[in-house]
Amino acid sequence: MTRKQIVRKECRGRRSLRKKLAGAVAAAALVLLSAGCGGPDVTKTPTVEEAYAVVIGEYYAAIEQEWDSAELMEGGLNYLVAQCYGDAPLENTGYAITDLNGDGTEELLIGSRVEDDFFGCMIFALYTLDEKGVHRLVFDSGERNRYYYAGENRFANLGSCGFNESFETTLKFEDGEMIDMAYTTPPAEYVQPKLTPFCEWVK
């Protein structure tokens, strides 16, 4: 058994426990963050970095260990990431924290840094923050439902919903939701967002 197989086997055994602990750890962290000399401050919300750290950390660990598509799905992460590994998984994938639509709330993009016709400019997942500062998933890509960044908080959305049935449109992220703009964006107009490679993530 290779070292990678051993690591994956150990990860599978720990993953169930990690999922159970994740909620408790996050809740405990929020309590500690809100605690003050005069008692807990229930109005305090986590910073953007704190809110997204768990998601980024989970992707980093999975990509570093080169989880396959099934393992990513089991871990609640986007399975297309596995198809982007190549020879440098942590360099070929990345993330960005940015205020997409200028409303004061920063979003988290998980995307591809590979430059080819299929994965170029692809966004694997988009997260935003709710009113309590907790992250929530807005969308994630699949082989039959892909999202490509088109600039100015717009995303080309294309795929298929059955045999010989395809769709293609442009969606705009606004007020925490995706709005169908009812027009298509050609691949030549896709925009590669500035993504920080996961190899530069500071734990």
Q: List, for residues 110-148, the tens digit of each pLDDT value.
A: 999 999 999 999 999 999 999 899 999 999 999 999 999
Query: Which pLDDT value is given to residue 136?
Result: 96
Using CB atoms within 10 Å of the CB of residue 139, give its burial: 0 to 12 exposed, 13 to 18 middle, 19+ buried: middle
Q: Are 155 and 173 in contact (CB under 8 A)?
A: yes
The whole-model pTM stands at: 0.79
Cα distance between residue 55 and residue 126, in whole Å: 11
Query: Which pLDDT value is given to residue 43?
Result: 55
Q: What is the dihedral of CA 7, 12, 13, 15, to 10 degrees?
A: 110
Low-confidence ranges of the chain (pLDDT < 70): 1-44
| Domain extents in the chain | 45-198
Query: Which pLDDT value is given to residue 44?
Result: 64
Q: Are 153 and 114 in contact (CB under 8 A)?
A: no
